[in-house]
Amino acid sequence: MPEHEVPFPLNAEALLLRSLTDYAIYMMDPDGYILSWNAGGERIKGYSDDEVIGQHFSRFYLPEDAARGEPQRGLETARREGRFETEGWRVRKDGSRFRANIVIDPIIQDGRLVGFAKVTKDITERYEAQQRLKQAERTLAQAQKINAIRQLTLGVAHDFNNVLAVVMTSLDLLKDRRDESQRQRLIDAAQKAATRGSMLSQQLLAFARGQRLDPEPHDIRELILHSADVYRRAAGPSTACGFELGDESPTVQIDATQFEAALMNLVANARDAMHCPGHITISTRVLVPDAAVHPDVRPGTRYLYISVADDGPGMDEDTRLRAMEPFFTTKEVGRGSGLGLSQVFGFASQSGGFAFIESAPGSGTRVTIALPVEPAVEQ
Ligand SMILES: Nc1ncnc2c1ncn2[C@@H]1O[C@H](COP(=O)(O)OP(=O)(O)O)[C@@H](O)[C@H]1O
Ligand SMILES: [Mg+2]
């Protein structure tokens, strides 16, 4: 059948093809019947020459793939697009499977399709190595997760212990102190510790629940002023906490409890960062941010910015970039859970807004929560 004749390689090329033992290279007629193949074909697939020449190449496919028309699809794609490449399972003569990389090229002579050249590479070893690597990566990720949870548990247990120790000692001392100012100091200490404990449990709850929000329209200025004393107390005795609330205070859709937790987290971070007397400023303003501020900015939308700024030591760039990751903390065990900023960022994005950190070593830190003023969906 002269029309099925393909330009079989010259002797030198034939020799070359025979030496490529990791590749099965064969020539097929336009219908997929095998005209010739190289030694690699024999080695990889286990058939001898006479068992293969004249056979249809679909015999190398898994029966279910052949039934689905995979072999024809390969030929058609090669004809239409000038090449077909795929990876999949193929069968050897003994029925065993091997992972194959397959390339089919059409052979065109005088503008006419005269057949196909098919190159099959046995990539089982590479594939299995990749699978082992993937499995190892999964195991490692799992181990890291467990380690993170262990760290967290350790931190939280220490934190709660500290909280309870302060409360218990204060109560204990209260019993036999008569001096009113001393009693007041002890009550303050116990209250502060209890606030810290409740914040910690809020952080854990928010993280574990993935921040279930219950958004309702709120006037942020009212919310902030309502809890101003709590923030002042959280800032600690040596840090002044001031408020610069803009005249305009539009209504925003938020979960008030989560908003207050976020603000508490920011104030607590500012207090923790301060080594000497310092200032914390909670401020609000309304603006239409530039799209460059954050990838989540909705162009033309008005946002309410709520910022917590401090004049503490600030963060280096590495810390700033990682600060919002869950469990990321630079604090010693028992002082930080690494969940504060991740709660802030989770809250902001789930409220349809975003949050960002401005900070540099020696220049203090400002964390801003931006909430869209117009609700995303009219209700
Ligand atoms: N106001 C701030 N000034 C300096 N560093 C900060 C400030 N806020 C956060 N950070 C850094 O970001 C890290 C992560 O903060 P956070 O998520 O609240 O976890 P945690 O406070 O438990 O460490 C902190 O450990 C600290 O290194
Ligand atoms: Mg924190």
373 pLDDT band, cuts 50/70/90, is very high
pLDDT at 375 over 70: no
Q: Which atom of ligand 1 is nearest to the CA of 312?
A: 3
The rounded distance, in Å, linking the Cα atoms of 243 and 282 is 5
Model confidence over 187-224: pLDDT tens digits?
999 998 898 888 888 777 777 776 667 889 999 999 99
The rounded distance, in Å, linking the Cα atoms of 375 and 298 is 12
Q: Cα dist. 78→64, 84, 219, 285 in Å?
A: 21, 5, 64, 62
Give pairs for 61-70: CB < 8 Å, separation 24+: 61/90, 61/91, 62/89, 62/90, 62/91, 62/97, 65/89
Closest Cα to atom 1, ligand 1: which residue?
A: 270
Determine the 3-state secondary structure of 38 from DSSP: coil
Across the chain, mean pLDDT equals: 87
pLDDT at 71 over 70: yes
Q: Which atom of ligand 1 is nearest to the CA of 364?
A: 3
Whether ligand 1 lies within 6 angstroms of the CB of 273 is answered as yes
Centre of ligand 2 from the C-alpha of residue 343, in Å: 9
The total of other beta-carbon atoms located within 10 Å of residue 54's CB is 10
> Which pLDDT belongs to residue 205?
77
Q: Which atom of ligand 1 is nearest to the CA of 155?
A: 22
Q: Which residues surround ligand 2, an ion (CB under 5 A)?
A: 269, 340
Whether ligand 1 lies within 6 angstroms of the CB of 364 is answered as no
pLDDT at 5 over 60: no
Beta strands 239-245; 278-287: pairing state: parallel
> Which pLDDT belongs to residue 376?
45
Element (H, E) at 354: strand 354-359
Beta strands 278-287; 251-254: pairing state: unpaired
**118, 26 contact by CB (below 8 A):** yes
Model confidence over 112-153: pLDDT tens digits?
999 999 999 989 988 999 899 888 888 887 877 777 777 777
Closest Cα to atom 24, ligand 1: which residue?
A: 329
Report the chain's C-alpha Rg in angstroms.
35
Centre of ligand 1 from the C-alpha of residue 226, in Å: 25
Q: Directed axis angle between helix 180-209 and helix 124-176, to 10°?
A: 160
Q: Which atom of ligand 1 is nearest to the CA of 268?
A: 21
Structure tokens at 162: 């500290």
- Residues 263-269 have a mean pLDDT of 94
Domains annotated on the chain, with CATH: 2-122 (3.30.450.20), 139-372 (3.30.565.10)
The total of other beta-carbon atoms located within 10 Å of residue 329's CB is 19
Pocket of ligand 1, candidates 158, 199, 269, 316: which has the most ligand atoms within 8 Å of its Cβ, to mutate?
269
pLDDT at 1 over 50: no
Whether ligand 1 lies within 6 angstroms of the CB of 312 is answered as yes
Burial of 46 (0-12, 13-18, 19+ CB in 10 A): middle
Model confidence over 328-365: pLDDT tens digits?
899 887 677 788 998 899 899 989 999 999 999 999 99
